[in-house]
């Protein structure tokens, strides 16, 4: 099967059955330093982000290298998290569409969207939808209320003054544990809790003793040093538990710290009762997991890939779903799509945006136009780069997906739509349309097999829907290796760690000769080795500062403006 990559401005070069163009992708030569900004996800802390600004539009090859290195497009530049300093970490995500199957709930959303929106728009039955949403949410509301009531029953808060002597003794023990841990990991952790009123102390039921949040406070106040050693909360808890080694204080209490859970202060003679309780809990958890596995097996039997696109209508640039037409077009701005965007921002996100914002973020090109891959044997061509996926019913624009197409994936950057469609989960519906589109395109281009969901912030509730897709893969921010999303990865993401895989090391060829880099200066292109020695030394110093952020392939692929 012959596949070629073309641009309109350069002659193709033959490589591995592909014709590949490497146009000059120029960026500014400067040291990339992560910039501090307020957290976008309202945790009250700060994010640190690297910004890479194009001087000229980038090629598809450079775009793919940027995505592999954890960058995403943002307005007129590319951004990437500094994972070692940021509060809420963003993890790159994608779905292998051949492994994706909709859950029963997702399938219901898709079918409801077709029946209630595509077939009826603009005559939508909001009362019926509101009633359905209320019925769907009622069981969870009841569960949440029950959990809250149970929590109130179990958690008997204890005043610090009532156990001050006990807390002072615990502080002494923790400082001795700190010394041992510091020697072990070669750090300078501080286990002294300056403000003891941060402590939350609860009385254990059945007069077992107490449990506190010592472990959470200690991890938080040493978080930068611990993250530098790739130590997450659960690992810290385990280390602390080993060092405590069931120490006895005041001849009455034993100190215990499990991998999960609070810091325990158990009355001597009662710890066996606690262990028995934990054993029963573990057994219940195992039984619950077994039941969950059985239920998943039953659900899997009724799942199948959902196909909503009309077969006869499908082309790589447009297709239909019933009365809805989806068109994939170049980015542009018009009164219709700008008005749709502004209404969406105002009514869905309660944010006042502008024409300038729309232009900068979505309608401005920073990727070269007129790039494509072509299957000559079947005479089909897929246009790559920045695109709009427009959703229209009866000629009216009701939604627009801002996407990027590369040789291997569809990257979903943003979606805005008619605010009246918010109750119908347009985001979930659009995600499955994109995945089905990728599956169909893959028949012509076998390497085109991923639908990218961009960043996922695991602590952001609004992004949780991205974690529900089967076939989900998460990129490790440290090693850039893609990993299948599972329970272990979920735990690590919740703890905001930057190392998700333990076995694969970061691949970095430190011996790469930087003198082979491309430099653009005085309106001409040069190899670095062609410049005078003083300029070479200056440029090499800057590139060495950036190699951990950009990586060898990007350093080699980009051209730097000097």
pLDDT digits (tens, 9 = 90+) for 344-373: 999 998 889 999 999 999 999 999 998 999
Would residue 370 be called left, alpha or beta, if left means φ above 0 and alpha means ψ between -120 and 50 degrees? Answer: left
Nearest to 102 by CA among 489, 486, 468: 468
- The pLDDT of residue 479: 87
Residues of the chain with pLDDT under 70: 1-23, 40-44, 125-155, 205-206, 270-283, 288-305, 503-512
Let me know the angle formed at the C-alpha of 331 by 326 and 332, rounded to the nearest 5 degrees: 105
Tokens, residue 551:
């990586």
Q: Point out which residues pair with 264 in neighbouring strands.
A: 211, 256
Using CB atoms within 10 Å of the CB of residue 181, give its burial: 0 to 12 exposed, 13 to 18 middle, 19+ buried: buried
Specify the pairing of strand 518-521 against strand 482-484. unpaired
Residue 374: its H or E element? strand 372-375
CA 302 to chain centre: 29
- DSSP letter assigned to residue 361: I
Burial class, 271, CB count within 10 angstroms (exposed 0-12 / middle 13-18 / buried 19+): middle
Secondary structure string (H, E, C) spanning 341-370 = HHHHHHHHCCCCCCHHHHHHHHHCCCECCC
Select from 487, 453, 444, 320 the least CA-distant residue to 394.
Answer: 320
Bridge partners of 72? 79
Sole residue written with tokens 């939350």: 200
Q: Which two tokens stand for residue 340?
A: 């749709």
Handedness of CA 377, 380, 381, 387 (dihedral sign): negative
- Residue 325: strand pairing partners: 320, 392
Strands (E) in 272-345, as ranges, are 318-321, 324-329
Strand order through the sheet with 72-74 = 35-38, 46-52, 77-81, 72-74
**Max Cα-Cα span within the chain:** 83
Query: Cis (ω within 30 of 0) for the bond into 553?
Result: no
Q: Each residue of 237-262: pLDDT tens digit?
A: 888 988 888 788 888 888 888 877 78
Q: Are 367 and 355 in contact (CB under 8 A)?
A: no
Question: What residues form DSSP beta bridges with 4?
Answer: 374
Structure tokens at 213: 């949040």
CB count in 10 Å sphere of residue 523:
5
Residue 196 burial by Cβ neighbours in a 10 Å radius (0-12, 13-18, 19+): middle
Residue 58 carries which DSSP code? B
Which H or E run includes 490? helix 487-494
Q: Which DSSP letter does residue 460 get?
A: -
Q: Alpha-carbon distance 60 to 369, whole Å? A: 9
Cα–Cα distance between 102 and 305 in angstroms, integer?
7
- Which distant-in-sequence residues (6+ apart) come within 8 Å of 482 by Cβ? 94, 473, 474, 475, 476
**pLDDT score, position 299:** 44
Q: The sheet that has 524-527: what strands, in order across it?
A: 26-28, 559-561, 518-521, 524-527
H-helix or E-strand spanning residue 301: helix 271-302
What's residue 279's pLDDT? 64
pLDDT for 131 equals 46
Are 515 and 555 contacting, i.e. CB atoms less than 8 angstroms apart? no
DSSP string, 10-48: S--EEETTEEE-----EEE-S---PEEEE-TTSSSSEEE
pLDDT of res. 258:
82
* Cβ–Cβ < 8 Å for 60, 411: no
Q: Hey, what are 248's tokens?
A: 């006895």
Which residues face 392 on adjacent strands?
Answer: 325, 397
pLDDT of residue 41: 66
Neighbour count for residue 337 (Cβ, 10 Å): 19
Please choose, from the candidates 436, 143, 498, 441, the residue with its C-alpha nearest in 3D space to the C-alpha of residue 309: 436
Contact 382, 372 (CB under 8 A): yes
DSSP secondary structure string for all residues of 115-162: IIIITTTTS--HHHHHHHHHHHHHHHHHHHHHHHHHHHHH-EE--GGG
Alpha helices in 186-270 (DSSP H): 214-221, 223-228, 233-244
- Work out whether strand 35-38 and strand 72-74 pair parallel, antiparallel, or are unpaired: unpaired
Long-range contacts of 239-242 (CB under 8 A, 24+ apart): 239/181, 239/184, 240/177, 240/181, 240/215
CB atoms within 10 A of CB 152: 9
Report the pLDDT value the prediction gives residue 29, as an integer from 0 to 100. Answer: 95
């Amino acid at each position: 099967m012959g596949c070629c990559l073309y641009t309109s401005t350069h002659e193709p070069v033959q490589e591995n059955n592909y014709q590949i163009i490497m146009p000059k992708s120029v960026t500014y030569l400067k040291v990339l330093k992560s910039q501090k900004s307020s957290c976008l996800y309202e945790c009250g802390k700060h994010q640190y982000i690297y910004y890479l600004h194009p001087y000229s539009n980038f090629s598809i090859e450079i775009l793919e290298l940027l995505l592999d290195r954890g960058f995403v497009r943002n307005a007129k530049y590319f951004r990437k998290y500094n994972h070692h300093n940021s509060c809420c970490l963003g993890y790159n995500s994608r779905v292998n569409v051949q492994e994706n199957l909709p859950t029963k709930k997702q399938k219901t959303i898709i079918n409801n969207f077709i029946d209630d929106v595509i077939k009826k728009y603009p005559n939508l039955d909001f009362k019926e939808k509101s009633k359905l949403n209320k019925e769907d949410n009622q069981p969870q509301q009841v569960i949440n209320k029950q959990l809250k009531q149970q929590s109130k029953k179990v958690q008997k808060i204890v005043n610090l003054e009532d156990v001050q002597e006990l807390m002072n003794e615990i502080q002494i023990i923790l400082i001795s544990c700190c010394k041992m841990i510091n020697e072990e990991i070669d750090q300078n952790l501080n286990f002294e809790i300056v403000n003891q009123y941060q402590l939350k102390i609860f009385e254990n039921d059945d007069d077992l003793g107490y449990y506190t949040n010592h472990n959470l406070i200690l991890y938080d106040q040493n978080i930068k040093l611990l993250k530098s050693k790739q130590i997450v909360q659960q690992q810290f808890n385990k280390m602390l538990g080993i060092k405590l080694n069931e120490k006895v204080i005041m001849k009455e209490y034993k100190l215990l710290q499990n991998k999960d859970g609070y810091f325990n202060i158990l009355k001597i003679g009662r710890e066996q009762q606690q262990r028995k309780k934990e054993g029963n809990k573990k057994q219940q958890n195992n039984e619950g997991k077994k039941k969950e596995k059985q239920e998943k097996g039953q659900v899997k039997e009724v799942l199948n890939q959902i196909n909503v696109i009309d077969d006869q209508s499908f082309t790589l640039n447009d297709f239909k779903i019933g009365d809805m037409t989806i068109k994939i077009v170049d980015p542009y701005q018009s009164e219709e799509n700008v008005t749709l965007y502004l209404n969406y921002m105002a009514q869905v996100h309660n944010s006042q945006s502008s024409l300038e914002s729309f232009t900068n973020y979505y309608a401005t090109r920073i990727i070269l136009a007129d790039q494509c891959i072509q299957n000559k044997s079947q005479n089909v061509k897929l246009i790559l780069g920045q695109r709009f996926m427009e959703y229209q019913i009866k000629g009216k624009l009701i939604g627009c997906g801002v996407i990027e197409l590369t040789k291997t994936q569809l990257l979903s950057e943003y979606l805005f739509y008619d605010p009246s469609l918010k109750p119908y989960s347009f985001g979930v519906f659009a995600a499955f349309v994109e995945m089905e589109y990728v599956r169909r395109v893959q028949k012509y281009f076998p390497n085109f097999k991923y639908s990218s969901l961009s960043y996922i912030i695991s602590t952001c509730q609004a992004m949780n829907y991205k974690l529900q897709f089967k076939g989900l893969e998460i990129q490790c921010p440290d090693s850039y290796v893609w990993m299948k999303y599972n329970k272990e990865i979920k735990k690590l993401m919740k703890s905001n760690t930057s190392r998700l895989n333990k076995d694969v090391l970061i691949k970095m060829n430190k011996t790469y000769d930087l003198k082979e880099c491309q430099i653009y200066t005085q309106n001409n292109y040069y190899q670095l080795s062609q410049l005078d020695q003083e300029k070479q030394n200056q440029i090499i110093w800057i590139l060495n500062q950036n190699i951990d952020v950009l990586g060898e392939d990007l350093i080699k692929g980009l051209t730097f403006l000097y």
